[in-house]
Amino acid sequence: MMGNIEKMIVHQASPVSYELPVGDARVDMNAAIGSQLRLTYGGEIHCVACGRLTKKSFNQGHCYPCFRALAACDMCIMKPETCHFDLGTCREPEWAMNHCMQPHYVYLANSSGIKVGITRGTQIPTRWIDQGATQALPIFKVATRLQSGLLEVEIKNHVSDRTDWRKMLKGDAEPVELTALRDELVDKSNARIEQLVAEHGDAEIELIKDVEVTAIEYPVQAYPEKIKSLNFDTQPMIEGELLGIKGQYLILDSGVLNIRKFSGYNIELEIT
pLDDT of amino acid 181: 97
Sequence letter at residue 202: D
89-112 pLDDT, tens digit each: 999 999 999 999 999 999 999 999
pLDDT of amino acid 19: 98
| Single pTM value for the model | 0.95
Nearest alpha carbon to residue 101 among 152, 154, 161, 148: 148
pLDDT of amino acid 140: 98
pLDDT of amino acid 37: 98
**Domain assignments of the chain as residue spans, ordered by start:** 2-49+219-271, 103-215
For residue 244, give every residue at least 6 positions away whose Cβ sits within 8 Å of its Cβ, in sequence order, or none: 33, 218, 219, 220, 221, 222, 223, 251
The kind and range of the H/E element at 115 are strand 114-120
pLDDT of amino acid 126: 98
Confidence of residue 44 (pLDDT cuts 50, 70, 90): very high
Mean pLDDT of all residues in 246-256:
98
146-187 pLDDT, tens digit each: 999 999 999 999 999 999 999 999 999 999 999 999 999 999
- Taking the C-alpha atoms of residue 228 and residue 250, their distance in angstroms, rounded to an integer, is 12
